[in-house]
Amino acid sequence: AYPVVRRMGKTAGGEVASLIGNAEALRSLRAADFVDDMFGLPTVTDILKELEKPGRDPRPAFRTATFKEGVEKLGDLEPGMVLEGV
C-alpha cells in the first residue's frame, strides 16, 4: 500500500507524514483517484480511513498469563496444581 500512500502525499502537496492523522487533508482526497491495478476502491478507502487514526491497533485486547509465585522450574510443580498456561 506504500505506493498508493506516496501518491496521496504528492497529490495533497506534502509528505506522507503530513497526511497521518490529518483528517482535513485526507478528506480532500478522492479514493477513486488512487485506484489502480493493484489497489481497488475498497482498499484505497480503507487506507484513507486508517491514515486518519494513526496508532490504532485493531486487534482485541491481549490478556497476559498470571504466573503462580514460587513456580519457576519443573521441580516447583506439585501434584494437583492448576496453573494458567501460555
**Mean pLDDT (the chain, rounded):** 91
| Residue 29 near residue 8 (C-beta atoms within 8 A) | yes
In angstroms, the CA 25 to CA 14 distance is: 10
**Residue 21 pLDDT grade (very low, low, confident, very high; cuts 50, 70, 90):** very high
**Residue 56 pLDDT grade (very low, low, confident, very high; cuts 50, 70, 90):** confident
CATH topology assigned to domain 2-52 = DNA polymerase; domain 1 (1.10.150)
Which residues does 22 contact at the CB level (< 8 Å), separation at least 6?
52
Q: The C-alpha cell of 64 is what?
A: 497476559
In angstroms, the CA 43 to CA 35 distance is: 9
- Confidence at residue 10, expressed as pLDDT on a 0 to 100 scale: 94
Please report, rounded to a whole number, the percentage of residues in the chain having pLDDT higher than 70. 100
